[in-house]
Structure 1
Amino acid sequence: MCDCSICTRKGARMVYAEQADFKLLKGEHSLGCYQFNTKVAEHYFCKTCGIYTHHKPRTLPGKYGINAGCLQSIDPFNLEITKVNGGSW
């Protein structure tokens, strides 16, 4: 769990994958992208319901952070949580 300002407010439990291993299967047309501060990171969300789905972090090039709550058959509340001091990045 990251403690930067945006992650703290989202409250999402994120899992990470290599960009080469990530494939969005459907719904790309329904996604919006939010960028703040340096405008390097890309934060994706559903334009219909507003849920945060995934992001391309500035500080972890080559990876995607994925909202575990958006993945089928994964209970995000049963994941082991590691806190990350993203607020200092």
Structure 2
Amino acid sequence: MTTHQGSCHCGRVKFEVDGEIDSALSCNCSICERKGSLLWFAPRASLRLLTPESELANYTFNKHVIQHRFCPNCGIHPYGEGKAPNGDAVAAVNIRCIEGIDLAAVPVQHYDGRSK
């Protein structure tokens, strides 16, 4: 299993996440479309913050079930937290925040979150 290193733009929020990035999701809901993130879903337990959680800001909207985590300094959204359909805790990692990723090599699935 591969361990990936990631951070926000200014480096205030740092994390590691274990897993194989085999695809990403591009969502067109009101927040994802504005952020432009490419999301890879991993079990929340595989994501380890290297920065104290108190250093992150949090945003929720609509049904308030997804915790959109972001850096209060630079504004970058490295990941979100929620529940998978089966109830398991999941991290939606913005692969644009992971070091050394060849984004062109990652297949992207488009999700119509605007209609949900």
TM-score (norm 1): 0.84
Q: Secondary structure at the match of 1:52?
A: coil
- Match of residue 29 from structure 1: 54
Q: Does 1:47 align with 2:59?
A: no
Distance 2:59 2:82 in 1: 12
- Match of residue 16 from structure 1: 41
- Match of residue 65 from structure 1: 92
Higher share in helix: 1
How far 1:79 moved relative to its partner?
1.8
In our comparison, the structure showing a higher alpha carbon Rg is 2
Question: Where does the alignment leave 5 or more consecutive residues of structure 2 unmatched?
Answer: 1-25
Identity of paired residues, percent? Answer: 34
Q: Does 1:2 align with 2:27?
A: yes
C-alpha change, 1:42 and 1:80, in structure 2 (3 Å) is same
Q: What is the alpha-carbon root mean square deviation over aligned residues?
A: 1.9
Higher share in strand: 2
Q: Secondary structure at the match of 2:78?
A: strand
Aligned length: 89
Q: Following superposition, which runs of at least 4 residues in structure 1 exceed 4 angstroms of deviation?
A: 58-61
Pick from 29, 39, 56: which aligns with 2:81?
A: 56
How far 1:27 moved relative to its partner?
4.9
What do the CA deviations read for 1:4-45 (whole angstroms, capped 9, x no partner)? Answer: 111111111111101122212225332100011121210010
Q: Secondary structure at the match of 1:12?
A: coil
Comparing 37-46 and 57-66, the one that deviates more: 57-66
